[in-house]
């Protein structure tokens, strides 16, 4: 059924960014109230676009987009992406970001997660076909599974378990890429696909289960920091502003094949935990738990294609990005971002 529209009225607009021209374009962002989506919407509005945010608020938050109240170029359409998307008037571009992205969230209802990836992709592609819009798919490094090579390049086909707890997300995103490929070749739909590696920054949910939010929240609260396995598994962390810049450059390009977007700097979980402890001044202990099934041992993007074809590379170092992220969580939790006194450990429950 059609979604409920809420227009936030007239008011001040964001300062224009001259990097990529979007003035007057109508842009739909599904999952726009989420962590990454809300940062994307901020950039789109700042560059002159008319923005429709489609979100059912299952994991997205109104607080992420409430700053746009009073902007007559912003409309919230409260709807599930699994339902047909009916929008009157022109739609020039579509960014499909709708889907829970952290394992604890997407594993709550794995069937729903798979449907969101597949039915959601189908619905945005059908809309793009009707409107003649360019459509962007937020895919994921999870399409590479637990990789056998490092770094991972776009031609690598991956090592994904189709019969495990992460498959609902991994295979859902792989299926969505297939739909994008086939709509492009069969119907001529203009597509863009970004394979996103680990991303962090302000507006992450403190309880979303991702490693940066987990470590920062645990450190600020004086709780034990949970390491899974021996902590030697690696991830590469891209600050959200860098990722959004990559989105906009890819959407403005003529590249119709998947492109990796991420920061190739590689850190073990022990190294990340120690950085968070040093920056927060926390006395939290590191405690180890069994490694979850199918948890990848290594993540590192090969961003050669993004650099060559988009002129893109991340600019925010992990140390600087963590400072901004810790400040965000400290404000949200009501805690100082750098502890000068020893924190009491969490009480046993």
For the beta carbon of residue 326, count every other beta carbon within 10 angstroms: 24
The DSSP secondary structure of 63-105, one letter per residue, reads GGTGGGTT-TTEEEEE--TTS-----S---EEEE--S--SHHH
Minimal CA–CA distance to 134: which of 27, 232, 37? Answer: 27
According to DSSP, residue 203 is labeled T
The two three-digit tokens of residue 325, written as one number = 């992220």
Buried b (16+ CB within 10 A) or exposed e, 307-317: eeebebebebe
- How far, in Å, CA of 217 to CA of 330, rounded? 8
Q: Which residues are catalytic?
A: 169
- How far, in Å, CA of 213 to CA of 45, rounded? 27
**Which residues have C-beta within 8 Å of that of residue 136, sequence separation ≥ 6?**
93, 94, 95, 96, 191, 192, 193, 194, 247, 250, 251
- How far, in Å, CA of 188 to CA of 340, rounded? 59
The distance from CA 81 to its chain's CA centroid, rounded to whole angstroms, is 16
**Which residues have C-beta within 8 Å of that of residue 341, sequence separation ≥ 6?**
none
Q: If you search the block for the tokens 């992709």, which residue do you land on? A: 121
The two three-digit tokens of residue 208, written as one number = 């979303």
Using alpha carbons only, what angle is made at residue 211 by residues 209 and 213, rounded to the nearest 5 degrees?
A: 70
* DSSP bridge pairs for 286: 225
For the beta carbon of residue 108, count every other beta carbon within 10 angstroms: 12
């Amino acid at each position: 059924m059609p979604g409920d529209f809420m227009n936030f009225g007239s008011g001040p607009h964001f300062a224009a960014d001259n990097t990529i021209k979007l003035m007057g374009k109508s842009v739909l962002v599904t999952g726009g109230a989420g962590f990454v989506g809300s940062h994307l919407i901020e950039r789109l509005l700042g560059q002159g676009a008319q923005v429709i945010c489609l979100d059912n608020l299952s994991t997205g938050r109104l607080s992420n987009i409430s700053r746009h109240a009073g902007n007559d170029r912003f409309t919230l359409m409260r709807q599930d992406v699994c339902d047909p998307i009916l929008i009157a008037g022109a739609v020039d571009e579509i960014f499909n970001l709708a889907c829970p992205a952290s394992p604890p969230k997407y594993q709550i209802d794995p069937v729903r997660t798979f449907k969101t990836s597949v039915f959601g992709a189908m619905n945005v592609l059908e809309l793009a076909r009707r409107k003649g819009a360019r459509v962007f798919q937020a895919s994921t490094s999870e399409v590479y599974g637990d990789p056998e090579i490092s770094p991972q390049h776009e031609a690598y086909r991956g090592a994904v378990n189709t019969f495990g707890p992460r498959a609902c997300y991994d295979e859902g995103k792989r299926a969505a890429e297939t739909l994008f490929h086939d709509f492009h070749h069969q119907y001529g739909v203009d597509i863009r696909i970004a394979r996103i590696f680990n991303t962090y920054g302000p507006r992450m949910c403190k309880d979303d289960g991702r490693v940066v939010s987990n470590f920062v929240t645990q450190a600020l609260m004086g709780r034990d920091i949970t390491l899974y396995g021996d902590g030697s598994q690696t991830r590469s962390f891209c600050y959200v502003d860098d990722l959004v810049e990559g989105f906009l450059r890819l959407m403005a390009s003529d590249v119709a094949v998947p492109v990796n977007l991420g920061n190739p700097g590689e850190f073990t979980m022990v190294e990340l935990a120690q950085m968070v402890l040093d920056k927060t001044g926390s006395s939290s202990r590191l405690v180890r738990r069994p490694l979850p099934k199918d948890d990848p041992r290594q993540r590192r993007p090969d961003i050669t294609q993004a650099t060559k074809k988009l002129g893109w590379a991340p600019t925010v170092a992990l140390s600087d990005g963590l400072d901004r992220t810790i400040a965000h969580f400290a404000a949200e939790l009501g805690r100082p971002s750098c502890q000068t006194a020893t924190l009491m450990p969490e009480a046993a429950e």
